Chains A and B, each alone.
Chain A
Amino acid sequence: MAGAWPAPRGPGPVSGEEELPRELKNLNQSLRGIRFEPRSSLGPELLGRVRRGERSEGAVSSRRIRPALRGAAAALVAAVALLGTPHQAADVRVDRCCYDLDGGGEADDGVLIVAGRDEQVRRLSIYEDKDGSTDYSLGDLVRFERGAEPMIDVPLGLDLETHQFCCRDYDGGGFDDDGLLVVGRPPDRVVMAAIYETRQTESTRPLPRFPLR
């Protein structure tokens, strides 16, 4: 890979900066003065990885993981697998699109759920389908993201809307028995998202309530 790599961009004028309150101007200048320069070999290394056909596999490259740690990790995974309950299955990834989940008025939002099949949600993301692919892709805008526990990322207040969709298979269980609940502040905020199950219990009595997952 020949040729010089570009020097870092210097801070330039940005629209709207002239309206910045006076007391913030010094801080604005200080932050604008911070520039980092990646080492010059990063670009050629990256191109070498592309040339070798490497695929991205994780945010932190595997070259930092020591072989001994790899062995320990493999043993740990095996132990967890052995200790797991017999019905425990691999996680399923469910991607449903397109709804209006952020109150923006357009059905351009999707939900990406990683869950134990018909069980606990491990990850739930609400995204805006920016590229119109009707499923989650790299250029999509993630509006909300959570792990295993339902959470609200801002205090409850006025102007919240709750969007409810029922019933679809959101947890990969094979039945259209799940509901999706999303709370947001139009037009672009999502503050909570969870799924719930509506299936009857084995005794055919309906569930007394619908715990959020």
Chain B
Amino acid sequence: MHGGVATGARRKIGSIRDNRLARAYLPIVSRSFVEPSVTPPAAPSPDAAAEEQLCRGWYEAHGVAIYNYFRFHVPLQDVAEDLTAETFLKLVRAADQFDSSRGSARAWVLTIARNVLGDWHRRARLRQYVSLGAMHDLVCEAPSPEERLLREEEVGRLLDAVATLGAADRELIGLRYGSELDTAEMAQALGISEGSVRTRLWRALGRLRGVLAR
């Protein structure tokens, strides 16, 4: 994948600079191609018992957070379960890639979860969060069924409103309130600065407030 014919073996006959529209509207910053380094050899995969133990540890530590992250993005409990399981099945076979010196485990797991969610969005036509019926998995200490119903409606209204926001806003809210990442972890998961996280999250909340006020 990284090998192949050396750059420039074929004659370059043009570039996007020739496109006047592009030149007029887009500032061009050309960069030279950097040849990738050699891919490191894959680590040997652990046996099934070790994988199971590994998965148990990761799930106990992060399972609820990951599930809640997905519940902020998908309206169906069983889809959130599938996505959670998918995340951990992927994770358990990539656990040797985790490097604690690069950041927290929670943020790393969330990065995998985000990629799983992205795959799901590509496959699924269901993009809009619309609360459907009872939320059996909602944690609620309401003293009566009526009050629980009211609480479910309130949460459904909030999450329906979140679903109307742009993808970036939904992502911020899902990471913060679904998986409960702190600012530093969100910065790591999103690859942006902590200041940017705060600013963008507040703006997203402002937009959500606007939606709810309509």
B68 contacts A8, C-beta separation under 8 Å: yes
Contact B25 A156 (CB under 8 A): yes
Contact A134 B36 (CB under 8 A): yes
B79 within 8 A of A: yes
A residues 3-51 with Cβ under 8 Å of B?
Answer: 5-9, 11-12, 14-16, 19-21, 23-24, 27-28, 30-32, 34-39, 42-43, 45-47, 49-51
Interface residues of B in 176-202 (CB under 8 A from A): 176-177, 180, 182-184, 189-192, 194, 196-198, 202
Partner of B1, one of A123, A135, A209: A135
B115 touches A138 (CB 8 A): yes
Is B27 a contact partner of A39 (Cβ separation < 8 A)?
Answer: no
Q: Are A38 and B86 CB-contacts (below 8 A) given A156-B25, A162-B29?
A: no
| A47: chain B residues within 8 A (beta carbon) | 52, 55-56, 59
When the two chains form their complex, are residues A183 and B190 in contact, meaning their CB atoms are under 8 A apart?
no
Mostly, the A contact residues are loop
A45/B85 contact (C-beta < 8 A), A9-B65, A28-B205, A135-B2 known: yes
Complex contact B26–A160 (CB within 8 A): yes
Please judge, given known A-B contacts A14-B182, A39-B81, A140-B111, whether A49 and B89 are in contact too, CB under 8 Å. yes
- Using a CB-CB cutoff of 8 Å, which residues 155-213 of chain A contact chain B? 156, 160-169, 175-177, 179, 181, 183, 188, 196, 198-200, 206-207, 209-210
Question: Quick check: B86 and A59 within 8 Å, CB to CB?
Answer: yes
CB distance from A148 to the nearest CB of B (A): 11
Scan residues 196-214 of chain B and give those whose CB is less than 8 A from a CB of chain A. 196-198, 202, 205-206, 208-209, 212
**Inter-chain contacts of B83 with A (CB < 8 A):** 59
With A8-B139, A43-B63, A207-B14 known as contacts, the answer to whether A165 contacts B114 (CB < 8 A) is no
Residues of B at under 8 Å CB distance from A?
A: 1-2, 4-5, 7-10, 12-19, 22, 25-31, 33-34, 36-40, 48, 51-52, 55-56, 59-60, 63-65, 67-68, 71-72, 77-86, 88-94, 97-99, 102, 108, 111-112, 114-120, 122-124, 135, 137-139, 154-155, 158-159, 173, 176-177, 180, 182-184, 189-192, 194, 196-198, 202, 205-206, 208-209, 212
Name A residues whose Cβ lies closer than 8 Å to a Cβ of B. 1, 5-9, 11-12, 14-16, 19-21, 23-24, 27-28, 30-32, 34-39, 42-43, 45-47, 49-51, 53-56, 58-61, 64, 94-100, 103, 107, 123, 128, 130-131, 133-135, 137-143, 145, 147, 156, 160-169, 175-177, 179, 181, 183, 188, 196, 198-200, 206-207, 209-210
